[in-house]
Structure 1
């Protein structure tokens, strides 16, 4: 899961994939804009066959939080 998410992140922002950790914050550390983030969420929905709640996604700040959220939806 982490590898796939990290690869996706690198499609949206120019960052060395080794710099992406579970503690990386999307906006502050990785340079995501809200548009980048929402675009990636759409791709995550398609890739992992999930449907996210916009209110819940708005609370996600780190890569680790995103992974845990995706995993909870897949259960």
Structure 2
């Protein structure tokens, strides 16, 4: 498993307070984790902090799943 995926999972588990086993690469934030707008904000903020990057609001709106987050971070890193 990639370091980026592991890091994304860590952020999700921390923000959503869920079991790491509930998070797979296919996990969707809203549909699967029932993330509301504040959860989504904290997820993006956590990813920015974890990976030392800045995610624009426009890009953040496109990140809807673990796979989206990993793909985005790998692209900008």
Q: TM-score, normalized by length of structure 2?
A: 0.84
Aligned ranges 1:9-20 → 2 under 5 Å: 9-20=12-23
Q: What corresponds to 1:69 in structure 2?
A: 72
Answer whether contact 2:29 2:65 (CA < 8 A) is retained: yes
**Residue 74 of structure 2 aligns to a residue in which SS?**
helix
- How far is 1:6 from its partner? 0.9
Of 17, 20, 24 in structure 2, the residue corresponding to residue 21 of structure 1 is 24
The number of residue pairs the alignment matches comes to 74
**Residue 32 of structure 2 aligns to a residue in which SS?**
coil
- Rounded Cα–Cα distance in structure 1 between residues aligned with 2:65 and 2:10: 15
Instruction: Provide the aligned C-alpha RMSD in A.
Output: 1.3
Query: What residue ranges of structure 2 are gaps of 5+ in the alignment?
Result: none
Q: What corresponds to 1:59 in structure 2?
A: 62
- How far is 1:23 from its partner? 0.7
Answer whether contact 1:10 1:17 (CA < 8 A) is retained: yes
